[in-house]
A = this chain, B = another copy of it.
Amino acid sequence: MVNFKKAQDIINHEISVIEFIREPKELYDPVNYVLSIGGKRIRPALVIMACSLFSEQITHAVKPALALEIFHNFTLLHDDMMDNSVLRRNKPTVHEKWNRNIAILSGDVMSIIAYKYLSDCPSGMLPSILELFTETALQVCEGQQYDLNFETRNDISVNDYLKMIELKTAVLIAASLKMGAILGGASLADADLLYEFGKNLGIVFQLGDDMLDVYGSTDKFGKKIGMDIIANKKTFLILKAIEVADNETRNQLTELMSSNDFDPEEKISRVMNIFNQLGIKEITQEKSGEYYDHALKTLDMVSVDHESKSTLKEFAKMLIEREH
């Protein structure tokens, strides 16, 4: 069984040798740029790990794994444009470095390249791999649309939010594991269990991100604290606080989170005070723990020996233990 570090190394090596040298360079330079500036390569690494759970042959899983990474980076490229983000991984986003038209078109080309890599798998597996990928890709777009919708809505519930992050983030992690399982020759039952494991882990991952914005340390996470609060982003923490707060506190929170007029430091401090009063950190940790436990229970049901699963368990543990 290939562990996360080893799978990451395989993927990092493969990506380091990718260079799209087709013309015109205005179209392909941004693709090479986006793929070269890193990221944790979680999704393709999970494809490799899941494949290795069922088979010692993992070579044929590399191209489909890269497909998922390329697709993921395509969604980041277009999302960053929609969100007007200027930085991604501390580098200028494509629409900032080039322009918006180039960002649209190089994103489009990345989604096609993703299918190109995906198609490079054993032909017998191609129909099921394509079906899984396409359904997942639609769901990721749906998640992004919900996220955009939520920006202008003030009636979002915690459950709406959980559904959104399931689509926007969790299903791609789930599909990575399921795809790896299919490529490793797993039974449909095992592939589906790994999907469920990944989906729950994906939600843990996103809730972790929401926590890190407020309780992370700037140095280790590489982002400033409270950026979501300043951007009036409706995270799990905010929505949960609105849900559990009394009327007075809810009104304060709603006022804080619907304006850009507050002093940033003061705004962060006031929102964090409310979080502390309401025990939002603990509530979020508990919720995240539920998803985590469910993920591990599902993993336990996969019909491979306990030892083989340990690397996926280690990966899950690493996710939940990110600095916060």
Contact = CB atoms under 8 A, between A and B. Distances in A.
Nearest to A136: B112
Contacts of A22: 138, 142
Given A112-B141, A123-B126, A138-B112, A24 B146 contact: yes
A105 to B, nearest CB: 6
A109 interface: yes
Contacts of A78: 104-105, 108
Nearest to A121: B127
A53 B199 CA distance: 47
A104 B134 CA distance: 18
A215 interface: no
Interface string A116-150: 10010001001100110010011001101110110
Contacts of A26: 145, 148-149
Main secondary structure of the interface of A (DSSP, over half): helix
Interface in A50-99: 78, 81-82
A24 B149 CA distance: 9
Contact of A142 (B23, B123, B148): B23
A24 B127 CA distance: 27
A104 B104 contact: yes
Contacts of A81: 104
A89 to B, nearest CB: 21
A104 B78 CA distance: 8
B82 A141 contact: no
Interface of A: 22-24, 26-27, 78, 81-82, 101-102, 104-105, 107-109, 111-113, 115-116, 119, 123, 126-127, 130-131, 134, 137-138, 141-142, 144-146, 148-149
11 contacts: A26-B149, A78-B104, A101-B148, A105-B148, A107-B108, A109-B138, A112-B141, A116-B138, A123-B126, A126-B127, A126-B130
10 shortest interchain CB distances as A-B pairs: A27-B145, A82-B101, A109-B141, A112-B137, A119-B130, A116-B134, A24-B145, A123-B127, A26-B145, A115-B134
